[in-house]
Amino acid sequence: MYKVDAHTHDDIALLRRPGMDFKASQGVTTVVTGNCGISPAPLEPDTPTPAPISLAVDGADARYPSFGAYLDALRRQPAALNVAPLVGHTTLRARCMAALDRPANADEIAAMQAHVREALDAGAFGVSTGTYYPPAAAATTDEIVAVCRPLAGSGGVFATHMRDEQDAVLDSLQETFRIGRELGVPVVVSHHKVTGERNRGRSAETLAAIDAARRCQCVALDCYPYTAGSTMLHDDPVRLQGRVLIAHSEPEPGMAGRDLDDIAREWGCSKLDAVKRLQPASAIYFMMDEADVQRILAYEPTMIGSDGIPLGPKPHPRLWGTFPRVLGRYSRELKLFPLETAVWKMTGLTAGNFGLEGRGTIAEGAWADLVVFDPDAVIDSATYDEPQRAAPGIEVVVVNGEPVWQAGQGTGARPGRVLQRRRSG
pLDDT in tens, 331-341: 999 999 999 99
Mean pLDDT, rounded, for 86-105: 98
Average pLDDT over residues 193-210: 97
> In terms of residue numbers, what domain contains 148?
3-227+288-410
Share of the chain above pLDDT 70, in %: 99
Examine residue 419 and state whether it is found in any structural domain, yes or no: no
Domain end, chosen from 240, 264, 287, is at: 287
211 in a structural domain: yes
pLDDT at residue 1 in the model = 60
Residue 138 shares a structural domain with residue 187: yes
Domain boundary residue, one of 287, 303, 320: 287
Residue 20 domain-assigned? yes
What does pLDDT average to over the chain? 96
For the cut 80, the answer to whether the pLDDT of residue 424 exceeds it is no
Closest CA to 417 of 129, 96, 80, 68: 80
Same domain, 193 and 297: yes
Q: Can you give 145-162 as a three-state secondary structure string?
A: HHHCHHHCCCCCEEEEEC
Q: Quick check: is 415 in a domain?
A: no
Does the residue 424 lie in any domain? no
What would the mean pLDDT of 312-317 be, rounded to a whole number? 95
> Does one domain contain both 85 and 95?
yes
pLDDT of residue 55: 87
Q: Which helix (H) or strand (E) holds 14?
A: helix 13-16
Q: Are 26 and 151 in contact (CB under 8 A)?
A: no
68 with 13, same domain: the answer is yes
Range with lowest mean pLDDT among 309-313, 365-369, 384-388: 365-369
List pLDDT tens digits, range 87-96.
999 999 999 9
Within-domain flag for 107: yes
Cβ neighbours of 19 (radius 10 Å): 20
The reply to whether the predicted model has a pTM over 0.95 is: yes
- In this prediction, residue 425 carries a pLDDT of 47
Q: Are residues 63 and 142 in the same domain?
A: yes
Q: How confident is the model at residue 363 (pLDDT cuts 50, 70, 90)?
A: confident
- The reported pLDDT for the residue numbered 43 is 97
Do 269 and 406 fall into the same domain? no
* Residue 420 belongs to a domain: no
Distance CA 133, CA 89 (A): 11
List the CATH number of the domain containing 270.
Answer: 3.30.1490.130
372 shares its domain with 271: no
Final residue belonging to a domain, choices 287, 309, 332: 287
192 and 300 part of one domain:
yes
User: If we measure between CA atoms, which residue out of 211, 193, 190, 213 comes closest to residue 202?
Assistant: 193
Question: For residue 250, is pLDDT > 60?
Answer: yes
Residues 219 and 279 in one domain: no
> Are 267 and 296 in a shared domain?
no
| Number of structural domains the chain divides into | 2
The CA distance from 423 to 103, in Å, is 31
- What CATH code is carried by the domain that includes residue 75? 3.20.20.140
* Together in a domain, 344 and 277: no
For residues 178 and 191, state if they share a domain: yes
- Residue predicted with more confidence, 57 or 419: 419
Would you say residue 135 lies in a domain? yes
pLDDT in tens, 153-179: 999 999 999 999 999 999 999 999 999
Flag whether pLDDT at 74 surpasses 60. Answer: yes
Which pLDDT belongs to residue 244?
Answer: 97
| Span 372-412, pLDDT tens digits | 999 999 999 999 999 999 999 999 999 999 999 999 999 99
Over residues 116-164, the pLDDT tens digits come to: 999 999 999 999 999 999 999 999 999 999 999 999 999 999 999 999 9
